[in-house]
Amino acid sequence: MYQHHYDDGRLIDLPVGKVVCVGRNYLEHIQELNNEVPEQPLLFIKPNTALCDVQKPIAIPKDKGSCHNELEIAILIGKQLTDCDDDTAKRSIHGVGLGLDLTLREVQDALKAKGQPWERAKGFDASCPISPFVPIDKIAIERNIEFSLSVNNKVRQQGNSANMMHKISSLIVDISKNFTLLPGDIVLTGTPKGVGPLKDGDELSLVLKDHLSIKTKVT
């Protein structure tokens, strides 16, 4: 079980909290799944039991249909936030990393067709493999943050924060106006196009340009 956040191999003195996820934050991903463009950030939550270390082999469910990759920039919250402003949101960020929002696609499609919540497809155990976090003083969220996912040495997803429909600090502000963010919570900021099924034995490479390069596998 995931018990600690990490920074360059060191434990971060923050608890492990919930994961607040943002859906449909990149237009090309909305288009590839033929979804509607939301009028405001689409939010859902993964429990802390969804977290696991992305550097260790990733276990995916075997009997619930395809499990898709959705690579996202992950923001580690360092201070409690309730109805905050943009400046406070920026000052609350402890670090930046990468997270996989693993998604049971057929399960999600069935739930969406019935107008039901997505948690069965998104919040299962180990559905959020997470990387170590880069300290915020080493990375600027106002600048373009590039990231990518390769599967079996072929690039599947390439993202850039410049292409987000809602920027990182504004997402944090919006979330805080709906429910409190606590120290140790993580915000996943949306996935770019290129989602697809993972299978047993796949070798993954996750890159946060200039900061992180992680190799792992699916089992």
Outline where DSSP puts E strands in 124-171: 128-130, 134-135, 146-151, 154-160
With respect to residue 27, please indicate whether it lies within any of the assigned structural domains: yes
In this structure, the chain runs to a length of 219
> What three-state secondary structure class fits 119?
helix
The helix (run of H) or strand (run of E) holding residue 176 is: helix 168-176
Which pLDDT belongs to residue 1? 85
pLDDT, tens digit (0-9, with 9 covering 90-100), for 86-143: 999 999 999 999 999 999 999 999 999 999 999 999 999 999 999 999 999 999 998 8
* pLDDT less than 50: residues of the chain: none
Which is it for the CA torsion 46, 52, 74, 15, positive or negative?
Answer: positive
Q: How many structural domains comprise the chain?
A: 1
Range(s) of the domain holding residue 122: 6-217
Cα Rg of the chain, angstroms = 16
With respect to residue 133, please indicate whether it lies within any of the assigned structural domains: yes
Residue 22 dihedral angles phi and psi, to the nearest 5°: -110, 120
Which pLDDT belongs to residue 153? 98
Which pLDDT belongs to residue 96? 98
With respect to residue 63, please indicate whether it lies within any of the assigned structural domains: yes
With respect to residue 145, please indicate whether it lies within any of the assigned structural domains: yes
> What three-state secondary structure class fits 89?
helix
Outline where DSSP puts E strands in 26-92: 42-46, 51-53, 67-69, 71-77
Look up the pTM and report it.
0.96
With respect to residue 193, please indicate whether it lies within any of the assigned structural domains: yes
| 211 closest CA partner among 153, 137, 100 | 137
With respect to residue 1, please indicate whether it lies within any of the assigned structural domains: no
First to last CA, the chain: 16
Q: Domain with 37 in it: what CATH number?
A: 3.90.850.10
With respect to residue 18, please indicate whether it lies within any of the assigned structural domains: yes
